[in-house]
Structure 1
Amino acid sequence: MLKKSFLTGVIALAFSAGLAAAEPAKVLIPANPGGGWDGAGRETMAAFNKSGVFTDGVSFTNKGGAAGTIGLAEFVRTAEGDDNALLVTGVIMVGGVISNKTPVSLDNTTPLARMTNEYNAIAVPADSPIKTPQDFLAALKADPGALSVGGGSAGGVDHVLLALLAKQAGAPVDKINFVSFSGGEILASLGGGKIKAAISGASEFRDFAKSGRIRLIAVTGPTRVEGLDVPTLKESGIPIEIGNWRGFVGAPGMSEAGRKTWLDRFEKLHASDVWKEALKAHGWEDAYLAGDEFKAFIKAEESNWTTALKDVGILK
Structure 2
Amino acid sequence: MKQQVKSAAMIAAVAIALVGCTTANQAPQASDAGETAAAEVQALGRMEILAPAAPGSGWDQTARALGTALEGGEFAESITVTNVPGASGTVALAQVAANPGQEGVLMASGLAMMSGVLTNDTGVSLDDVTPIARLIGEAEIIVVPAASEFQTIEDLLAAIAEDPAGVPIAGGSAGSADHVFLGLLAEAYDIEPSQLNYVPFSGGGEATTALLGNQVSAGIAGIGEFRDQILEEELRPLLLSSSEPVEGIEVQSVADIGHPDLEFANWRSIMAPGGIDDELRQQYVDVVTELAGSDAWAEQLETNDWADLFLAGDEFDAWLDEENTRVEGVLSQLGLVVQ
TM-score by length of 2: 0.70
Change (3 A) 1:133 1:240: farther
Which residue identity does 1:228 align to in structure 2?
I
1:262 and 2:284 aligned: yes
1:298 and 2:320 aligned: yes
Aligned pairs for 1:1-316 within 5 A = 21-23=45-47, 25-29=48-52, 31-32=53-54, 36-54=58-76, 56-66=78-88, 68-77=89-98, 80-100=100-120, 102-126=122-146, 128-168=148-188, 171-181=191-201, 185-193=203-211, 195-212=216-233, 214-236=235-257, 241-244=262-265, 245-254=267-276, 258-280=280-302, 282-310=304-332
Which has the higher Rg, Structure 1 or Structure 2?
A: 1
Aligned length: 293
Contact persistence 1:88–1:246 (CA under 8 A): yes
| SS at 1:22 equivalent | strand
Identical positions, percent: 32
* 1:265-300 deviation digits (Å, cap 9, x = unpaired): 312211102323443554544332223332233233
Structure richer in helix, relative to its length: 1
Unaligned segments of structure 2, at least 5 residues: 1-41
Change (3 A) 1:64 1:152: farther
Distance in 1, matches of 2:84 and 2:156, equals 33
Contact persistence 1:151–1:178 (CA under 8 A): yes
Q: Which moved more, 1:252-261 or 1:227-236?
A: 252-261
Q: What is the deviation of 1:195?
A: 4.8
TM-score by length of 1: 0.74
Q: What is the deviation of 1:101?
A: 5.3
| SS at 2:164 equivalent | coil
Unaligned segments of structure 1, at least 5 residues: 1-17
Which residue identity does 2:46 align to in structure 1?
A
Which residue identity does 2:49 align to in structure 1?
K
Distance in 2, matches of 1:205 and 1:45, equals 28
Distance in 2, matches of 1:296 and 1:167, equals 24
Please name the residue that 1:9 is paired with.
none
Contact persistence 2:201–2:207 (CA under 8 A): no
Distance in 2, matches of 1:43 and 1:122, equals 28
Distance in 2, matches of 1:96 and 1:123, equals 26
Contact persistence 1:125–1:213 (CA under 8 A): yes
Please name the residue that 2:11 is paired with.
none
* 1:187-228 deviation digits (Å, cap 9, x = unpaired): 333235465433233244334533555443220112322342
Which residue identity does 1:21 align to in structure 2?
G
Contact persistence 1:144–1:175 (CA under 8 A): yes
| SS at 2:251 equivalent | coil
Distance in 1, matches of 2:56 and 2:263, equals 22
Q: What is the deviation of 1:108?
A: 0.9
| SS at 2:290 equivalent | helix
Q: What is the deviation of 1:313?
A: 6.4
Please name the residue that 2:4 is paired with.
none
Distance in 2, matches of 1:150 and 1:216, equals 14
| SS at 2:319 equivalent | helix
Contact persistence 1:116–1:288 (CA under 8 A): yes
Which residue identity does 1:292 align to in structure 2?
D
| SS at 1:302 equivalent | helix
Distance in 1, matches of 2:231 and 2:82, equals 29
Distance in 1, matches of 2:54 and 2:262, equals 27
Q: What is the deviation of 1:243?
A: 1.4
| SS at 1:279 equivalent | helix
Contact persistence 2:193–2:334 (CA under 8 A): yes
* 1:111-162 deviation digits (Å, cap 9, x = unpaired): 1111124322113345544443133213423432243333344344422322
Contact persistence 1:28–1:75 (CA under 8 A): no
Q: What is the deviation of 1:231?
A: 1.9
